Amino acid sequence: MESLHFHCAHFKMQTAIIVAILVLVVVEMTAAKRQHHCKLPVDRGHHCNRHSARERIYYDRAARKCKPFNYRGCGGNKNRFKSHHDCRKECS
């Protein structure tokens, strides 16, 4: 009976370790995917109507900081944030 108890405890420990490893892998993959757009160059997009231009923030990889730019309203890429806070949260 003691052997069965040891086997169950060992199995639970292995399961917990596997789950912890899977969680770490998913977290790392998510972070890597999320930060991929921080490496993209600034892209102002294109005008889609005359009132569409607005200031947005992009991550300047060379300067290692978030900077404003004039977004034209349509297109562009994912290196575009509504605030400095959002940019720093994603890319810094």
Q: For the chain, what is the domain count? A: 1
Spatial separation of the C-alpha atoms in residues 46 and 63, rounded to whole Å? 25
pLDDT of residue 89: 93
pLDDT of residue 52: 76
**Residue for token digits 């040891």?**
6
Q: Which CATH number covers residue 49? A: 4.10.410.10
pLDDT of residue 36: 87
pTM of the model: 0.64
Cβ contact 60:67 at 8 Å? yes
pLDDT tens sequence for the chain (92 residues)? 566 666 666 667 777 777 777 777 776 766 555 568 999 999 999 998 877 789 999 999 999 999 999 999 999 999 999 999 999 999 98
The residues that bridge with 71 in the sheet, in sequence order, are 54
Range of the domain at 13: 2-91
